[in-house]
Amino acid sequence: MIISIIDYGSGNIKSVSKAVEFAAQNLNKSIVVNVTSEPAAIRQSDKIILPGQGSFKQCAQHLKNISGMMDELHDFVIEKKKNIFGICVGMQLFADVGEEDGGSNGFGWIKGSVKKINILNKDLKLPHMGWNEVVIKQNTTLFDHMTMDKHFYFVHSYQFIAEDQKNVAASTFYQDEITVAVLKDNIFGTQFHPEKSQKNGIQILENFIKW
């Protein structure tokens, strides 16, 4: 199996690749973890991971600046129905639009928008940073074998607002309920960082490999 991690200049690529390699070792799976910025490499992949850090608009533009990347991603995910895992802004890009930095279009794979978290409680800060417990909303194997305290690590100021609640796979509370995982067919994403979430994060990656 080949798992490609898309390197488009935005995301903690080294930590993600190390975490995926560790998860593969736990499963005793023969997996090639390929960090790539080449669209052609996607065609040879079985699964892909799309990390993301920074602003929605910046990440979207970096991907679009790589010639052929958007076409290959569309073919892989939408036409061939192969599995993708979006992390943080990588997940947010699945939405129709993001409002950050004046707004920009996303991929439109999961109906919804990405908007700034509205904080009214002066004791809460943005970015939402640190550990929060998530509530699983969908019965999916991607959340199998979690520990009793389903805590994951977050760093974000914007949230994915899904049009259809059936696409919300998990949520957490930060003043209000916030979507922290989305799932639609072969498309999965988390707002939290599995590569920074210790045992539960590695378990999510193991589940994605087996998915």
**How confident is the model at residue 147, as a pLDDT?**
72
- The answer to whether residue 193 is catalytic is yes
Give me the amino acid identity at 149: D
Look up 88 and say whether it is catalytic.
yes
- Judged against a pLDDT cut of 90, whether residue 98 lies above it is answered with yes
Q: What is the 3-state secondary structure (H, E, C) of the chain?
A: CEEEEECCCCCCHHHHHHHHHHHHHHCCCCCEEEEECCHHHHHCCCEEEECCCCCHHHHHHHHHCCCCHHHHHHHHHHHCCCEEEEECHHHHCCCCEECHHHCEECCCCCCEEEEECCCCCCCCCCCEEEEEECEECCCCHHHCCCCCCCEEEEEECEEEEECCHHHEEEEEEECEEEEEEEEECCEEEECCEHHHCHHHHHHHHHHHHHC
Residue closest to 182 by CA, chosen among 96, 92, 100: 92
Q: In the chain, what percentage of residues exceed pLDDT 90? A: 86
pLDDT value for 163: 96
Chain-wide mean pLDDT for the chain? Answer: 94
When divided into structural domains, the chain yields a total of: 1
Band the pLDDT of 169: cuts 50, 70, 90.
very high
CATH number at residue 206: 3.40.50.880
Q: Of these residues, 62, 88, 128, 151, which one is catalytic?
A: 88
How much is the pLDDT for 122? 81
For residue 41, give its domain range. Answer: 2-210
Express each pLDDT in 15-46 by its tens digit.
999 999 999 999 988 899 999 999 999 999 99
The confidence band for 72, taking pLDDT boundaries of 50, 70 and 90, is very high
Q: Is 59 a catalytic residue?
A: no
pLDDT of residue 108: 97
Query: Could you tell me whether strands 187-190 and 83-87 are parallel, antiparallel, or unpaired per DSSP bridges?
Result: parallel
Q: Kindly report, residue by residue over 111-158, the tens digit of the pLDDT.
A: 999 999 988 888 888 999 999 999 999 989 999 998 778 899 999 999
Q: What is the pTM of this model?
A: 0.95
The residue from 72, 151, 156, 195 that is catalytic is 195
pLDDT of 101:
87
The predicted pLDDT at position 123 comes to: 85
C-beta of residue 12 within 8 angstroms of C-beta of residue 50: no
Instruction: Report whether pLDDT(67) > 90.
Output: yes
